[in-house]
Amino acid sequence: MESMFTPYAWLIPILPLLAFVVLLVLGKTNKTFGISFSIAAIFASFVLSLLIFWERLADNASNYVWDGWNWLEIGSFQISLGFEINNLNAMMLVIVTVVSLLVHIYSVGYMHDDERKTTFFSYIALFTFSMLGLVIAENIVQLFIFWELVGVCSFLLVGFWYFKPEAKAAAKKAFIVTRVGDLGFFIAILLLFTYLPEPSLSFTYISQVFTTDLVNQIPDHIQFWIALLIFVGAIGKSGQFPLHTWLPDAMEGPTPISALIHAATMVAAGVYLVARTYDVFLAAPGALEAVAIIGAFTAIFAAIIGVTQNDIKRVLAYSTVSQLGYMMMALGFGTKLALAAAMFHLLTHAFFKALLFLGAGSVIHSLHEQDIQKMGGAGRYMKVTTITFAIGALALSGIFPLSGFWSKDAILVEALHYQVIFFLVGSLAALFTAFYMTRLFCLVFLGEHKGKHKPHESPISMTLPLVVLAVLAVVAGFVYTPFIPWLATWLTGEEVGDHLSWTVIFVSSGAALAGIILGWLFYGKKAISADKVAASIPWLYKLSFNKFYIDELYQVAVVKPLKVVSYLLDRFDEYVVDGAVRLTAGATVWLGGVASRLQNGQIQLYVLVTIFGFIIFVLALIGRRFW
Amino acid sequence: MFENFPILSVITFSPLIGILILAFINRENGKWLRIVGIATTFIPLILTGILYSQFNKASSASQFTEHFTWLQFPLNLDGLRVESLTLEFNYSLGVDGFSLPLLLLTAFIVSMAAFASVNIKTRWKTFYILFLLLEIGILGVFLAKDLLMFFIFFELTLVPMFFLIGIWGYQNKERAANRFLIYNGLGSAIMLIAFLIIITTAGLTQVGDTANYIYTGSIDTIMQNLNDPNSYANTNVENNPSHLSEAMQTTVFIMLLIAFGIKLPIFPFHTWMLRVHAEAPPAVVMIHSGILLKMGAYGLVRFGVLLFPDHALNWAFVLAVLGAINIIYGAINAFSQSDFKLILAYSSISHMGIILIGLAAFNDIGFQGLIIQLISHGLISALMFLLVGSFYERTQTTAIDKLGGLAKAVPFMSAALLFAGMALLGLPSLSGFVGELLAFMALFEKYPIVTLISTLGIILAAAYVLRGVMKITFGPLDEQLQQQVKQDARLIEVIPMVSLMAFIILLGVYPSIVTDITQATVVDFLEQILSNGG
C-alpha cells in the first residue's frame, strides 16, 4: 500500500513547536487565542498520528526513513535530522499525542486562575514537540538531542512555580540526577561512534550491525558497555533505582505535568530507548540481565515505599517508578515477546496512570490539599472523579478485565518463562501495588470529610479527559490478550503462539485481590490498625517511610564531598596557584629593590660587583669546557 | 568582487572612522558619543558579512590576500659571502576558513558589546575610542599573515584593555588591570622571543637564485621553509646560524604553548583572567571572554601546531591531559564560587579545556569541534556577561547569596539568563553541545580514559550553572530586591540579548553553517600536520 500520510510525519512534532512559538510571541497579548491555537495544533498532530498508525496496520508496511537534511557533515561522517516511522514509534506517537491532547484540555480548567498560564501552555507545547521528536528520531544523536530537550522541559515545568523553594530544589535535582544518566547515554554514543564499522549513527545502521556478522567487529566487552550505558541513560530518565530519587520530588510541578511528563510519556522514554535499541541489547546478554535485575528490584522497591507515603502525588510517583521497573524487567528477558509485553504495559500504563494523576489533580484542585491523611469523603462530592479514579486504580492493580490486567499478565507470563524468581517478585509487587492503591482510594474518597473546603466536582474541561482516559484504561487491554495477541504480532512481526497461562492469571489476580482486601481491612473497614502494624515492625516502616534513606546517602556520598573538594580546590587556586604568581611578582619587586639599592654612587661597591661578576664569568667559561 | 580592493585592510581599520568622528564630539555629549560608538561597530560587521558572502568555501587557501613589503633593514654582511642580507617585515593580510568564523564572531560580539556599554556612566569619549582601538587590534590578529604584524596587533589589544579595565572596572580595577598587563606582557615577551627565533632561522630565504637573502616574518614562507628538508633551518651543517635544531624547535613550541596558554588560559596560568572577569566592566568582559581568550587558541593552532606539527603531535597527550585538567578543575572550582562573575570565569576555563581536547585529537572532527566551541563559547559568554551587566545595573551586586527570585521582578532577563545557562551547560539544540560532542567523539578513540574523565564536566557543568542561575532567578524574592529591581530589560538591552540568543540557537540547530566554511581549511591543516609531522 502506498503510504499517504507517513511522509508527513515530521508535521507531528512541528505543529506543537509552532504552537510554542505562537504562545511565546502572542501569549502575553492574546491568551485565549494562544491556548486555543496550541490545542488545535496538538489535535492536528493527534489526527495525523492516528492516520499514520492506521497506515501501519496494513500488512508488511515497511519502515519509512527520511534523512534528507544534514545537521552536521564532517568528511565521511554525517548526522542527519530526519525521521523514521515504524510500528513501534507509530504506537508511541498515538500514546503521546492522545495523552498530551487530553492534558492540554485538562489544563484549561486546572490552570484557569494562574496568571502565567500561557507560559505553562508554551512549556507543554515545547515538551510535546520534543517528546514527539524523540519518538520519530532517525538516528541516535538526534534522539539524544530530543532526550535532553524533554529533560529541560521537565525541568521548566517542575520548577514552574519558581518562587517555591521546594519547586526550585526539585527542578534542580530532576535536571542534575537525570544528567548523570544522560552522561551514560552520551558515552554509549561515543562508543558506538568509535566502534561501529562505518561512521554512521542511524538506527537502521545500528540495527543492521547488531543483527548481522558485522557485530563481530566490535569487541564483546564493548558490546556489553554500549548496551549497559544506553541503559544507564534509561535508568536516569525512567527513574530506575538508583537514580529514581528525582521523580517523586518532581511532583512539585503542576499536576497535569505529572500526568503527562512524569507518568505517561517522558519517563517512559527510557523504556522506549531500550526498545528502540533492542538489537544492541540482544547482542549483550550481560546487559540484558542487568536490565531485568534493576527493573525487578525497582518494581518491588518503589512499591514498598509507596505503601507508607502520605502525599497523594508521591504515592502515584512511586507507583510510576515501580511500574516502569516492571517494563524494564520485561525488556531484560530478551525476547521479542517480552519487548511486546513491555511496550504493551507502557501503553496501558500511560492511560491509567495519566488518569490517576489527573484524578488526583482534580482532588487537589478541589480540596487544596495533598496530604491523604487529611483527606476523606471526597467520593460523595466528586462523582466523576471518584468513579474514574476507581477505574484507574483497579486497572493499575491488575483487575480483570481492565487494561492493567492484560499487560501485567503479559509480562508475568514472560517472567515465568524466563526465571521463576522474576515472576514471584512481579507478583509480590502487584500485591503491594493493589494494597497502596486501595489505601489511597480509601483515605481520599471514603470515610468522613475532614478539611475546611467543601469539595466540589471539577469543571467539564477537567472531567472530560478523565472520562476519556477511563474508557481507554478499560479497553486498551484488549489489543493484546492471550487469546488474541494482536499487538505482539504486529509489533514483533512474528506469529505469536499460544501463551495463555492459567497459573499466571490465578496468581496475579490473587495477588491483586489480596492487596485490595488487605487494604480494605486496614483503611476501609479499619479492622486492622495500620499504626499498630507499623509499630510492630518499626525498622521496616521507617525504612519505607524515609524512602530507604537514598537521598541522605547521596547527600553524604556525593553532594557533601563535592562541596568539600570544591572548597579545597578554591583555596588551592587562591593560595597555591595564585600564591605562586604573587610570590614570583613579589620576588621580582624585591630583586628590583636590591638592585636599585646597589646603585648608591660608591665606586668601591661597583668595583666589587664587577670583580664578582668577572669571577662568575671566568668560572662559567671553565665550566663549559668540562660539560 | 574585491580583485583590487584591499577589503581586509578596510575591515581592520574601519573603526578608525569612528575614532576620528568621536574625536570631534564634545566629551559631555554622551548621547552622540554612544550613537557614534555603537554605529561604528556596524561598519566592520557589515563588511565582514559581505566578505562572508564572497568567501570561497571550497578553497583552503588564504583569500583576499594583501601583501607588500613594509620595512626593510639591510644587515651587516661582515664575514658572510652573500650579496645582501635584509631583515624584512611585510604588511600581509589574508583570511581562510579558520580565521573567517573568528572574524565574523569578533565583528558581531563587538557590536553587541557596544550596546552593552550603555551601562558605562563616565568618560564615554575615551571609552569608545579605546573600545574601537581594541576592535582594530583583534581584527588584525585574525587577519595577520606575518609574525611581526600578528605581534603588533596582539599588543594593540593589550593597551586598550588595560585602560578599559583600569578606568571603568569595579572596586579593585587598578590591581586587576596591572595584573592583566604584566601577565599578558610576560606572555607577549615569550611569544616575541619565540617569533624572533623563528624569523632568524626558518625566516631565512634566498631570493630567487641570486646571492640576496632575506629574513622574513611571512607565515607562508616560514611554513614552507620548515617543511622543506633542504631549507636553511633544516640543514644541520657547521657554521649555519640559521639551523633550527630539534631541541630548539621543542623549546620554541613550548614557548608558544606557554605564551598562548596564558591567553587561553591553560591551568595553571589562569589566575589573571579571574580578576579580569571579576573587575572589568561587563561590556569589556564580553569582548575579553568572548573573543580575546580565543586569540590564545587561534595562536596556538596557527603557530604552535601548524609550524611545529611533529612536536604538536608528540605533545598530543599532554594537550589532552591539560584539556581534561582545565575542564574538571574549572568546573569544580566554579561550583563553590559565591560571585556569579567568578562562576562564569571558572566556567570559561572549563570550556577552554574542550578546545584543547578537540585539538589533541588531531582529526577533522576534533578540529571542527574546536572551531565550533570557539564560536559557541564566544556567543554564550558574551550573552552571559551582557546579562551580568544588566543585572548588576539593577541590583548593584553579583554575589549570588544576595540575589534570589528575580524571575518575578525581571522575567525577560531571567528567562534569558536561564537560556544562557542552558547553552553554557551544553544543552543539545544550542551551540554549546555541538563543540562538546565533536571534541569528545574525536578524542575518544585516541585517549578513551582522558575523554571519559573529561565528560564528567557535563554533569559538573549542570551543577554549577543551575546553582548560580537558579539562585539568582528562582526562589522567593525578598523585599529589598523587589524595591530595587523594577524595570525589565530595555529595548537597547533586548536587541543584543535576542541577537545573541538567535545565533546560539542557529549554531545549535544548524552547525553546518560553520563547518561549511571551515571544512576545506581543516582538511588542509590536517594534511599539513599529519604529512609533515608524521
Q: What's the rounded Cα separation, in Å, for the pair B529 and B534?
A: 8
User: Count H helices, E strands: chain A?
Assistant: 27, 2
B226 neighbors B219 (Cβ within 8 angstroms): no
Query: With contacts defined as CB-CB under 8 Å, which chain B residues touch A573?
Result: 271, 333
Burial B28-37 (b: 16+ CB within 10 A, else e): eebeebbebb
A58-72, A333-347, B342-356: lowest mean pLDDT where?
A58-72
| Residue range A511-540, pLDDT digits in tens | 999 999 998 888 888 888 878 888 888 888
The interface residues of chain A toward chain B in range 247-266, judged by CB-CB distance below 8 A, are: none
pLDDT band at residue A66, thresholds of 50, 70 and 90?
A: confident
Cβ A193–B441 below 8 Å, yes or no? yes
The residue type found at B505 is I
- DSSP 8-state secondary structure symbol assigned to residue A254: -
Cell numbers standing for residue A250: 518532581
A415-429, A478-492, B128-142, B281-295: lowest mean pLDDT where?
A478-492
Q: What is the pLDDT along chain B (534 residues), one digit of tens a residue?
A: 667 789 999 999 999 999 999 999 988 888 899 999 999 999 999 999 999 999 999 988 889 999 888 888 888 777 667 778 888 888 999 999 999 999 999 999 999 999 998 888 888 899 999 999 999 999 999 999 999 999 999 999 999 999 999 999 888 899 999 989 988 999 999 999 999 999 988 888 888 777 788 888 889 889 888 888 888 878 877 777 778 888 889 999 999 999 999 999 998 999 999 999 999 999 999 999 999 999 999 999 999 999 999 899 999 999 999 999 999 999 999 999 999 999 999 999 999 999 999 999 999 999 999 999 999 999 999 999 999 999 998 888 888 988 888 888 899 999 999 999 999 999 999 999 999 999 999 999 999 999 999 999 999 999 999 999 999 999 888 888 888 888 888 898 999 999 999 999 999 999 999 998 999 999 999 988 888 765
Residue in B with minimal Cα distance to A142: B428
Query: With contacts defined as CB-CB under 8 Å, which chain B residues touch A182?
Result: 458
Cβ A193–B444 below 8 Å, yes or no? yes
Three-state SS for A479?
helix
Cβ B365–A180 below 8 Å, yes or no? no
Instruction: Give me the helices (H) in B362-447, please.
Output: 364-395, 406-409, 411-424, 431-444
pLDDT band at residue A592, thresholds of 50, 70 and 90?
A: confident
Residue in A with minimal Cα distance to B332: A566
A402 neighbors A394 (Cβ within 8 angstroms): yes
* Among B433, B442, B526, B426, CA closest to A71: B433
The DSSP annotation for A277-342 comes to THHHHHT-HHHHHHHHHHHHHHHHHHHHHHHH--BHHHHHHHHHHHHHHHHHHHHHT-SHHHHHHH
Three-state SS for A388?
helix
Q: What's the rounded Cα separation, in Å, for the pair A512 and A432?
A: 8
For chain B, the structural domain boundaries read 7-533
Question: pTM, whole model, 2 decimals?
Answer: 0.93
The residue type found at A52 is I
* Among B349, B268, B334, B317, CA closest to B451: B317
Interface check for A222 against chain B (CB to CB < 8 A): the answer is no
Burial A199-208 (b: 16+ CB within 10 A, else e): bbbbbebbbb
Position B313 scores a pLDDT of: 92
Cβ A580–B268 below 8 Å, yes or no? yes
Interface check for A152 against chain B (CB to CB < 8 A): the answer is yes
| Residue range A298-338, pLDDT digits in tens | 999 999 999 888 899 999 999 999 999 999 999 999 888 89
- Mean pLDDT throughout A421-428? 92
Cell numbers standing for residue B527: 594534511
Cβ B462–A183 below 8 Å, yes or no? no
Cβ A566–B438 below 8 Å, yes or no? no
Cβ A569–B333 below 8 Å, yes or no? yes
Rounded (5°) CA angle B352-B354-B355: 65
- Mean pLDDT throughout A191-196? 93
Position A32 scores a pLDDT of: 84
* Among A320, A309, A303, A299, CA closest to A545: A309
Cell numbers standing for residue B27: 566629551
Interface test with B, best of A23, A148, A162, A175 (most B CBs within 10 A): A162
Interface check for A627 against chain B (CB to CB < 8 A): the answer is no
The DSSP annotation for B84-120 comes to EEEEEEEEEEEE-TTHHHHHHHHHHHHHHHHHHGGG-
- Mean pLDDT throughout A236-250? 92
Query: With contacts defined as CB-CB under 8 Å, which chain B residues touch A77?
Result: 365
Cβ A569–B510 below 8 Å, yes or no? no
ipTM above 0.90, yes or no: yes
Integer-rounded Cα radius of gyration of chain B? 23
Q: How many residues does chain B have?
A: 534
Cell numbers standing for residue B414: 531571567
| Residue range A27-51, pLDDT digits in tens | 777 788 888 999 999 999 999 999 9
Taken in order B341, B342, B345, B346, the sign of the CA dihedral is negative
* Among B64, B133, B56, B72, CA closest to B92: B64
pLDDT band at residue A60, thresholds of 50, 70 and 90?
A: low
Distances in whole angstroms, Cα of residue B432 to Cα of each of A146, B290, B301, B375: 15, 13, 21, 9
Distances in whole angstroms, Cα of residue A394 to Cα of each of A389, A404, A433, B249, B354: 9, 8, 10, 78, 53
Cβ B440–A171 below 8 Å, yes or no? no
Cell numbers standing for residue B521: 581549511
A381-395, A416-430, B224-238: lowest mean pLDDT where?
B224-238
B167 neighbors B131 (Cβ within 8 angstroms): no
In Å, how far is B142's CA from the nearest CA of chain A? Answer: 24
Position A472 scores a pLDDT of: 93
Cβ B459–A171 below 8 Å, yes or no? no
| Residue range A499-508, pLDDT digits in tens | 778 888 889 8
